[in-house]
Copies of this chain bind each other. A is one copy, B any other.
Amino acid sequence: MRVRSFADRIGGFLSLTVSEQNALAGLEGRARSLRRGAVLVRENDRTADLFVLSSGMMMSYVLLHDGSRQILRFLFPGDLAGAGALAYATSPESVVALADSVVCLFDRAQVAAVMARHPRLALAMTAIDQAERAAMTDRLAGLGRTSAQARIAAVLLDIRDRMRRSGEEVASGFTLPLTQEEIGDASGLTAVHVNRMLRQLEEMGLIARTGGRVILSDEVRLARTANYVDRLSRIDLSWLVPIPA
């Protein structure tokens, strides 16, 4: 199983000073293991913790009054989540494990202290968050303005890229760790229609499926139909380098 720390993630965008590395190492908080399906945070729970997913896979979502669910984000090793705790006393979203997972919890005061001492880390964190925001706006545009087919294609590409970034070896294909209902809740569709769109993408030759595995056969056309951009890969922190502590 792939394991990633937050230091690994930040280090991927910025070369860290020893002092910064130590700060991040010292931050490694309370570890907690979660079984598949276990709920880490429930919407409106009182919470003061942020966390980094160390291994496994999780998702965050909100529930609407009629019981329907909108999945906001899939989490992979190295991802920071729960940052809502910086602004709210209670969580604006629920977080649940999609696979057996391990998380590292940090109290927001710890996070604040590290940010105060290491401005460059604070800025890197902010920048990564901005990239996630951009990814979210892409999803917003997808839900508001694109076809069911495009949304499914986008989900597939997004998960593939996030798996890769988290250290998984994803060559041509990967095992989709989601039910079609979950894909639907992420893309604003019903499970039934997700099924039809997967079939359609398959018939068009853009993907192939065998068992639980998905192969992105024609990434170029897939990315084009999805309007997809890998926001995390475009991060440019070069302007930040000349500002050491």
Residues of A contacting B: mostly: helix
User: Could you tell me how many residues of chain A have their Cβ less than 8 Å away from some Cβ of chain B?
Assistant: 58
Q: Which residue from chain B places its CB closest to the CB of A92 in the assembled complex?
A: B134
- Count of this chain's copies in the oligomeric assembly: 2
A133 to B227 alpha-carbon distance, docked (Å): 22
Q: State whether the Cβ of A42 lies closer than 8 Å to any Cβ in chain B.
A: no
Question: CA separation between A231 and B87, bound complex, in Å?
Answer: 10
Q: A137, B137: Cβ atoms under 8 Å?
A: no
Q: Are A239 and B108 in contact (CB under 8 A)?
A: yes
Known A70-B145, A234-B88; contact A83-B130, beta-carbon cutoff 8 A: yes
Q: Which residues of B contact A239 (CB under 8 A)?
A: 48, 108-109
Asked if residues A123 and B86 are in contact (CB atoms below 8 Å), the reply is yes
**Interface contact B92-A137, CB-CB below 8 Å:** yes
- Alpha-carbon distance between A224 and B89 when the two chains are bound, in angstroms: 23
The chain B residue with its CB closest to the CB of A119 is: B116
- A131 at the binding interface (Cβ < 8 Å): yes
Name the one of B87, B123, B188 contacting A115, with C-beta atoms under 8 angstroms: B123
Closest-by-CB residue of B relative to A229 is: B92
A112 at the interface (CB under 8 A from B): yes
User: A130 with B188: in contact, given A119-B116, A123-B112 (CB under 8 Å)?
Assistant: no
Name the residue on B nearest A132 (C-beta): B133
A62 touches B137 (CB 8 A): yes
Asked if A220 CB lies within 8 Å of chain B CBs, one says no
CB distance from A72 to the nearest CB of B (A): 5
Nearest CB of chain B from residue A69's CB, rounded to whole Å: 8
Minimum CB–CB distance from A218 to chain B (whole Å) comes to 17
Q: Are B235 and A87 in contact (CB under 8 A)?
A: yes
State the CA gap A64–B88 with chains docked (Å): 33
What's the nearest-Cβ distance from chain B to residue A71, in Å? 9
The 10 closest A-B pairs by CB, nearest first: A144-B188, A116-B119, A70-B141, A87-B130, A87-B127, A143-B143, A92-B134, A89-B236, A68-B145, A70-B144
- Contacts A/B (CB < 8 Å), 23 sampled: A48-B239, A62-B141, A70-B137, A83-B133, A86-B126, A86-B127, A87-B127, A87-B128, A87-B130, A87-B131, A88-B134, A88-B234, A88-B235, A89-B236, A92-B231, A93-B134, A109-B243, A115-B123, A116-B120, A116-B122, A140-B143, A144-B187, A144-B188
